[in-house]
């Protein structure tokens, strides 16, 4: 937020900025991986960096043999962060509340954290689904073989830890 924005005067503006920073960090990782796939072979990162492994906010280790190309985001902040990093093209579906930028409005809407539409998510064949710890569908998605990255940020320390994990 810019300091002259009415949002900057809200008491939670700092916390919101921290949450967005966490989401942006996760999306930066995905966007960087997607960008690497479009570069000429001599400019790509060495294959020794594969597989890509991270530990999400549940403490779960997630590995990717290749950078994710099909992403479902079930949080508006993560959707917006991914698009801010010019990686909207990775999105194949979002939660019902994601409506910015305008390009995500046309994507399939897959419910919310409490009522995600599992069959529709599976049908989109995502490489990864981005969720918060509050989501009720984590176990069900993983049971059908969908990789899930859980990102949750409630405090500044959470944001710092997550940034370090993803960085």
- Provide the pLDDT for residue 137: 95
- Burial group, residue 96, by CB count within 10 angstroms (0-12, 13-18, 19+): middle
Tell me the two tokens of residue 117. Answer: 């539409």
- Provide the pLDDT for residue 99: 95
- Provide the pLDDT for residue 48: 58
- Provide the pLDDT for residue 75: 85
- Find how far residue 74's CA is from the centre of its chain: 8
Dihedral sign computed on CA atoms, order 44, 48, 49, 51: positive
Phi-psi region of 15 (alpha: psi -120 to 50; beta: other; left: phi over 0): alpha
Walk along the chain (167 residues) in steps of 10 and give the mean pLDDT of each run. 46 46 47 45 53 88 92 85 81 96 96 95 96 92 95 70 48
- Find the Cα–Cα–Cα–Cα dihedral 28, 141, 60, 75, rounded to 10°: 40
The answer to whether 56 and 128 have CB atoms below 8 angstroms apart is no
- Provide the pLDDT for residue 57: 83
């Amino acid at each position: 937020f810019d300091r002259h924005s009415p949002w900057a005067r809200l008491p939670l503006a700092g916390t919101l900025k921290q949450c967005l920073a966490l989401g942006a960090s996760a999306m930066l990782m995905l966007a960087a991986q997607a960008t690497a796939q479009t570069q000429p072979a001599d400019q790509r990162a060495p294959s020794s960096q594969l597989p890509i492994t991270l530990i999400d906010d549940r403490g779960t280790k997630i590995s990717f043999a290749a950078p994710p190309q099909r992403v479902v985001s079930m949080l508006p902040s993560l959707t917006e962060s991914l698009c801010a990093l010019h990686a909207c093209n990775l999105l194949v579906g979002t939660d019902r509340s994601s409506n910015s930028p305008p390009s995500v409005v046309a994507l399939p809407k897959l419910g919310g954290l409490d009522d995600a539409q599992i069959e529709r998510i599976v049908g989109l064949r995502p490489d990864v689904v981005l969720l918060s710890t509050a989501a009720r569908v984590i176990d069900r998605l993983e049971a059908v073989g969908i990789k899930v990255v859980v990102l949750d940020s409630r405090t500044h320390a959470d944001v710092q830890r997550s940034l370090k994990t993803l960085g």
